[in-house]
Structures are given as structure tokens and as C-alpha cells.
Amino acid sequence: MSRTLTACLLLFLVNAGTASVNSDYASIQRKFKQIKAEKLKPGTRIALTPAELNAYVQKELPEVAPPGIRNPTVVLNGNNTATGRALIDFLQLRSAQGNPPGFLLRTLLAGEHEVAVTTTVKSAGGSATVNLNRVEIEGVPISGAALDFLVRNYLVPNYPDAKIGKPFPLKWRIDRIEVTPQVAYVVTR
């Protein structure tokens, strides 16, 4: 195959992928706008596809997350469970908070690490609770004191309004959220 043809094909594939992400992002933005307008009939189910959710986190996370988090993805596991994955540089996160880590943490946490967080959402009647099921760093499960340390030193300082294991009200007349392997539904009240 000629170099010109190869270059054209690569350019086409890159543009097609970008167009798909932009289309999915535009689609989920329209759906969020409908939900926020609070004009949907009670019981309306808005379907959010994995492609839309991934386009959203890939576009929005850089705007709201501190430096040190990249390549976020969402996997819908079903049974109201989802897994979020990202590459995280804990040292960069800690430094962005104005707390440079000590020698031990620099040694243990240097570089980017693939982090996976699996959560379950229980929701009904306009309230939800998000529970941590599993946290993995580079495929190694984290629990107990190590997990408490990560939540206390990385999650809470960056997201002080995050509610883990505690009920919180859902906004915009949302009754509940249902997660299946194919789609997440937002159901209005």
C-alpha cells in the first residue's frame, strides 16, 4: 500500500474516532440538558450508553480533576455496579494539593498507576448511596488501612463533597439510577 493511501486511511480513522466521541458527547449533553430542565414526565427513563458516558468522562474530567489523572473510562457491570478506570500519578496529585510527599510515598507511588474503582449505587425515591466495592492499583486489591489512606489523602481533598457509603439527595427530580451491562438509566420522579 502506498504511503499516501496509508496516511489517508489513518487520517480517516482518526477523524472517524473523533467524530464518534464528539457525537456521543453531544448526545449525552442533550440528555443532561433534558434532565436538568426538570420537565420530563415522572417515570421517564433516559438511557446513557457506555459510549456516551466514556465520551463525557474523557471530555469533562480534565476540566474538573486535578493534574495527575488521565485516560478515564467507565464500564457498566450491571446490577447497579460500574467500574471506573484511569491512570493516576499520586505524586502529582499530592503535589497539586500543596503537600509534597515524603521519601517513602515518593518511592512507593512514583509514576502513573492504573487504578480501577468498582462501586454500587443504591437509589430510590430521589436519594442515592454509592458504596465502594473494590479498589485496585495495577490489579492489586486495596483494602483496610491502605484504602482509608487513599480516600482520606486523595479522594476527600480533591472531592470534598463526595459521599461514600452515605445517602445523598439526587438533583433535578431524579428518582433513581439503574445500571445494566448495556446502559445506565436515569429515571425521573
Quick check: 7 and 1 in contact, CB under 8 A? no
Q: What one-character DSSP code corresponds to residue 154?
A: I
Which pLDDT does position 104 carry in this prediction? 73
Give the Cα separation of 57 and 73 in Å (integer). 7
In the chain, what percentage of residues exceed pLDDT 70?
Answer: 87
Structural domain spans, the chain: 51-167
Mind listing the pLDDT tens digit for each residue in 42-68?
Answer: 999 999 999 999 999 999 988 888 788
* Confidence band, pLDDT 50/70/90 cuts, at residue 97: low
* Confidence band, pLDDT 50/70/90 cuts, at residue 2: very low
When pLDDT is averaged across residues 111-140 and rounded to a whole number, the result is 94
Displacement of CA 100 from its chain's centroid (Å) = 26
Beta bridge partners of 124: 127
Confirm whether pTM is higher than 0.85: no
Instruction: Quickly tell me which residue has 433534558 as its cell.
Output: 34
Kindly report the average pLDDT of the chain as a whole number.
86
5 has pLDDT over 80? no
Grid coordinates in use for 189?
Answer: 420522579
Grid coordinates in use for 94?
Answer: 499530592
Q: Please tell me which residue, 10 or 163, carries the higher pLDDT value.
A: 163
Instruction: Quickly tell me which residue has 450508553 as its cell.
Output: 49
Minimum mean pLDDT range among 69-78, 103-112, 117-126: 103-112
Which pLDDT does position 90 carry in this prediction? 82
Give the Cα separation of 58 and 52 in Å (integer). 10
Closest CA to 26 of 47, 56, 66: 56
| Long-range contacts, 114-117 (Cβ 8 Å, 24+) | 114/85, 114/86, 114/87, 114/138, 114/139, 115/85, 115/86, 115/87, 115/88, 116/83, 116/84, 116/85, 117/83, 117/84, 117/85
Grid coordinates in use for 160?
Answer: 470534598
